Structure 1
């Protein structure tokens, strides 16, 4: 097992204030029920969650037409503001992530681990009678300006990785001397603040694991093809070093090297045969070709009506090989033969 310090075999856990190895004294638990009768059609404040709060949970007691709203003290809306209803999802707000859930058959909820980096105001957009809103969160304890303060090292942070070499830090915080609760740094003398500590952790190599490369292009565009990828058994030795291992060193079974793709049927398409010779052989003429409607890569011939009309190639183009020679008059030449014996082929 791994503790909150991310060290194997460690039993260190977070306290209620989300401090690893803390004693829970740096925050207090706030819980309440907002069940005021409210006028419909506007926003009404429910509760203010102070900066630094953790383990935030807001929930309507019953399903209603009302909507939970989050905004800042400066009137910046984060969820369901300006009479616009947001889709339930995760929202990155105030340095933490709020999970907004609104099932059709369960009450609406807002949850976040914290800590928040600003004060958050919880409101409700009222559309009908308020069924009641339950809230709980753990804010930092109140500051006591009359007590003495001093710098203290926190517990070691979680290790940055589980194997192959990571790092941990031990930060310096300002604590109230009377009860050792963490307070804002300006209560302590900045000139005497020590430096944070760092150390290596989890330096043992990682267990071998499968590494998969990117899939190749599909071998066919339709009618079923295959795509391939590279799969290797690797072991991370350090933050900058990896070694390829024999496949038997990795578990479970190796991921597939190939997978089917483009399983849809090829659409019919036009196939144009070769152009004919220019006819006639001189002067303005035309070349022709035959079009066939084929079923994609299978090669089956289909009726022309099944191929797209807008993409039909042309079957006739103009051509002009050479200018035809002028006609020659028939008569006897000096050799006694017929003049213009080549006229027939020239005019063809």
Structure 2
């Protein structure tokens, strides 16, 4: 019986060709990797805060061109800047304030969120409609858009995840939670229409609470927006928003654009105070304000830790509960506050067994017997035995050596050691003779 077949000439040729091709491919990959020098050290970060970029270079060792990149980037300084630092793009625009443009000095304000080229430095001359591209690209680490972590690197917008990694797909939800599901805030949108009045100077459009994000308001008409604020400490403030620009209002960045027929207000948030948006009536015509923002759910249910176990050994139970927590004051409040939000679902109590290890053997005693004497000292006794209890609560007697680590309770003790009562005879009293016997 034939156990194996002889390979045909065609099969051998195919096999040899496969080996040759594999060898060449392996060598070409090795040669390609060997054409590059090792990566160099990382450069200093382009920013000290707010998210910047750092780069590393490598050199081609071949006289021919090398395949691949000679530069790589990573994010750095991924900590929030202090509020007084201002907007990074605005800083780059203001750096041109002392440079003449067409023979004239201007105060330059940033133009953000350019859909066509977000990484060019476009600025607007304050108080005018003049918009100029002052540089073909912004500095590395500048945000492509005001409400995104994506950053400009070498003039190109690079995707940045909320884990601060380039190219990462991990994103913040609208509530600002990295890789969140959007359950910690609620979308608020609406429209307000002003009413002409000869006596009323202003109207309240909407109150936007502390911690809100992605705020956008558009006013169409002759009226004007202004802001009132109140911090958690009770401090109040006002801002009239008289000109286009980026402002810091109670440590919250406000981007305001003023046009002849409309006004646009944006705040990325999270807000560091309660904001009340109002409009000043011009009295000439009605105005409408459309608004949208994400409001945090300030009161949320919080599951407690497990309560102490019902038994120290031998098996017990413990439960969790839920408490209503105020995220602003960091304290527990009445449950009714959490019922205001239909998104809040109170977690059900959890039950688990605990302390399942068998209890150690112990001495167990019967009640004391009656005293052998009612007074004058007697003896009472009891039986003491070594027992074990299982997790079902069944108690059984075991050998006394299992209780050797705890002292044995006494099996007898004196009782009624007080003296017994007895009769005591005293001396006779003198005889008293009645008076009618004396003559």
The TM-score bracket by the shorter chain reads 0.3 to 0.5
Q: Which has the higher contact order (CA 8 A, sep 6+)?
A: 1
Q: Give the alignment's TM-score, normalised by structure 1.
A: 0.40
Greater helix share, 1 or 2? 2
